Amino acid sequence: MDTIGKIMISESGLAHVPQCGHLSWTRPGEQKPKWGWVPDATKEMWNSITTTTPLVATEGDRGLKAERRCSNCYPGMPGDPWV
Ligand SMILES: [Zn+2]
């Protein structure tokens, strides 16, 4: 199993890599978003994220789970280790 680093999970159920620009996004007047994450995630974990097999956060806000993958994160990150 290839460890690919941390998978960040947003309140909207979207999985991101830590480098994703989405992680610093807040709209005016909006609270800082909450995040959950899975440290030392594997490529298999990233690839298996679906609505039927969501990835549940093990750190941060552990009530969050990812049901979809961010389309900006995958594919196409520079030096993408995920493909
Ligand atoms: Zn993203």
> Is 53 within the bounds of a domain?
yes
Span from the CA of 9 to the centroid of ligand 1 (angstroms): 9
Please identify which residue in the block is written with the tokens 């680093």.
5
Name residues whose C-beta falls within 8 Å of residue 72's C-beta, 6 or more positions apart in sequence: 20, 21, 22
Range of the domain at 58: 3-69
Span from the CA of 42 to the centroid of ligand 1 (angstroms): 17
> Is 76 within the bounds of a domain?
no
Q: What confidence score (pLDDT) does residue 83 get?
A: 45
Span from the CA of 1 to the centroid of ligand 1 (angstroms): 22
> Is 74 within the bounds of a domain?
no
End-to-end CA distance of the chain: 14
Query: What are the 10-residue block averages of pLDDT along the chain, 83 residues in total?
Result: 83 86 62 82 89 96 94 58 48
Residue 43, SS3 per DSSP: helix
Rg (CA), the chain: 12
> Is 83 within the bounds of a domain?
no
pTM: 0.77
Q: What confidence score (pLDDT) does residue 76 get?
A: 44
> Is 48 within the bounds of a domain?
yes
Q: What confidence score (pLDDT) does residue 3 get?
A: 79
Cα–Cα nearest to 7, from 78, 54, 76? 54
The number of domains in the chain is: 1
Q: What protein residues have CB closer than 5 angstroms to ion ligand 1?
A: 16, 20, 22, 70, 72-73
> Is 21 within the bounds of a domain?
yes
> Is 42 within the bounds of a domain?
yes
